């Protein structure tokens, strides 16, 4: 990504372009046209193109439509599945409407009929490289926003964790004072057991905080969404207790497993818990946080609902935009944008709706692991 962005600072974008055609003439013609301004790679069919794409960081593919065994559309589908931000131009001598429509539906940048106009081809190439740079920059900003939100979330909940450290440390101090008073005699074993247990509690609190900081992206594993819910409610307990929020768990039994990044999913659910608590902060009447899990035919769902004022319908699409906030100076506009980004990485979805409690309910849906 960085290499392409550095190349984008030049007057004209220089990209890595793969030309795929089983005929040598068109293949060489395109190479001659592009080689002065771009790094050009050649392939004669779909398998050889896939081999190049596996070894080289290609920015744009220009492929013939009709080739032996596998077509350019099949290569297009493969690219959009495995390298979704690489743009593809379909080139063919057959100006057939159905093939053009198929190519566009599969995500082709352009459909060019042979013999092609040189200026038109160059314009499509520049458009494709520019589009790829913009998409990679968008993803880079999403990554930065996600990291910023992770540390924002960390700050909110670690404050509670550090507050919780005070209780076991006070117990340890008291027990040690008793032990020191009896230093010349036998030290009661139960005193040492209490100290040992409280030290373990401190260690768990510190470990919970450090887990927010240690995170390698794309560490997907098999997990149970109930474990995510339990972990989030444990970490969020200092906040809910401070605000006198009653927590209601409704976690379905024997729920199917799903595949995901535990740390990212916990970040998403913690953001929702924090938003719910903030919505109820200062509100009159009951304060309840409802966390539910359940199964639907194709999905596993987890929801976070509250008894706050709810979210107006006109804001329900805007709240997931980066930097959009309804909290004024108190909000950064990163929390719900991060939730949406995390769910997209998991091929899932997030929606907001009214609940039976009079507040808002956010629902996360994950595909069931088959």
Q: What are 231-243's pLDDT values in tens digits?
A: 888 878 878 888 8
Cα–chain center distance at 22: 39
Query: Whole-angstrom Cα distance, residue 108 to residue 126?
Result: 15
Mean pLDDT across the chain, nearest whole number? 79
> 121 near 112, Cβ under 8 Å?
yes
pLDDT recorded at residue 145: 66
Give a three-class secondary structure readout of the chain: CHHHHHHHCCCCCCCEEEEECCCHHHHHHHHHHHCCCCEEEEECCHHHHHHHHHHCCCCEEEEECCCCCCCHHHHHHHHHHHCCCCEEEEEECCCCHHHHHHHHHCCCCEEEECCCCHHHHHHHHHHHHHHHHHHHHHHHHHHHHHHHHHHHHHHHHHHHHHHHHHHHHHHHHHHHHHHHHCCCCCCCHHHHHHHHHHHHHHHHHHHHHHHHHCCCCCCCEEECHHHHHHHHHHHCHHHHHHCCCEEEEEECCCCCCEEECHHHHHHHHHHHHHHHHHHHCCCCCCCEEEEEEEECCCEEEEEEEECCCCCCHHHCCHHHCCCCCCCHHHCCCCHHHHHHHHHHHCCCEEEEEECCCCCEEEEEEEECCC
pLDDT recorded at residue 104: 72
**How many degrees, rounded to 5, is the angle at CA 319 between CA 315 and CA 324?**
110
pLDDT recorded at residue 210: 60
Cα torsion angle, 25, 30, 35, 40, sign: negative
pLDDT recorded at residue 11: 42
pLDDT recorded at residue 7: 47
> 40 near 31, Cβ under 8 Å?
yes
What is the gyration radius of the CA atoms in the chain, in angstroms?
A: 28
pLDDT recorded at residue 224: 92
> 73 near 51, Cβ under 8 Å?
no
φ/ψ of 61, rounded to 5, equals: -115, 130
pLDDT recorded at residue 189: 65
pLDDT recorded at residue 10: 45
β-bridge pairing 299-306 and 258-260: unpaired
pLDDT digits (tens, 9 = 90+) for 51-103: 999 998 899 999 988 888 888 889 999 998 888 888 999 888 765 656 667 77
**Low-confidence residues of the chain, pLDDT below 70?**
1-12, 94-100, 141-167, 178-193, 201, 203-218, 322-335, 370
Count of residues in the chain: 370
């Amino acid at each position: 990504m960085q290499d392409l962005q550095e190349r984008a600072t030049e007057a004209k974008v220089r990209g890595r372009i793969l030309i795929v055609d089983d005929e040598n003439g068109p293949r060489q013609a395109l190479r001659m046209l592009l080689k002065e301004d771009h790094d050009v790679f050649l392939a004669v069919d779909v398998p050889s193109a896939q081999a190049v794409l596996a070894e080289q960081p290609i920015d744009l593919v220009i492929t013939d439509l009709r080739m032996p065994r596998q077509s350019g559309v099949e290569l297009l589908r493969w690219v959009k599945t495995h390298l979704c931000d690489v743009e593809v131009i379909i080139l063919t001598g057959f100006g057939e409407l159905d093939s053009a429509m198929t190519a566009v539906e599969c995500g082709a940048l352009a459909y060019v009929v042979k013999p092609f106009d040189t200026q038109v081809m160059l314009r499509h190439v520049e458009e494709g490289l520019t589009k790829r740079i913009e998409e990679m920059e968008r993803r880079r900003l999403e990554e930065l926003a996600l990291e910023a939100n992770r540390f924002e979330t960390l700050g909110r909940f670690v404050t509670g964790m550090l507050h919780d450290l005070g209780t076991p440390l006070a117990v340890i101090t008291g027990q040690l004072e008793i032990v020191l008073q009896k230093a010349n005699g036998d030290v009661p074993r139960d005193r040492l057991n209490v100290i040992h247990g409280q030290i373990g509690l401190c260690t768990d609190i510190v470990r919970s905080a450090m887990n927010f900081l240690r995170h390698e992206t794309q560490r997907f594993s098999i997990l149970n969404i109930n474990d995510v819910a339990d972990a989030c409610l444990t970490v969020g307990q200092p906040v809910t207790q401070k605000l006198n929020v009653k927590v209601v768990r409704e976690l379905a039994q024997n729920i199917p497993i799903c595949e995901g990044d535990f740390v990212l999913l916990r970040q998403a659910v913690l953001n929702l818990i924090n938003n719910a608590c903030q919505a109820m902060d200062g509100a009159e009447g009951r304060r309840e946080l409802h966390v539910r899990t359940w199964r639907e035919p194709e999905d596993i769902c987890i929801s976070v609902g509250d008894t706050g004022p709810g979210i107006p319908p006109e804001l329900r699409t805007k709240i997931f935009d980066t930097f959009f906030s309804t909290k004024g100076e108190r909000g950064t506009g990163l929390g719900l944008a991060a939730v949406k980004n995390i769910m997209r990485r998991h091929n899932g979805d997030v929606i907001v709706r009214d609940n039976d409690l009079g507040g808002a309910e956010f629902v996360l849906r994950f595909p069931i692991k088959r």
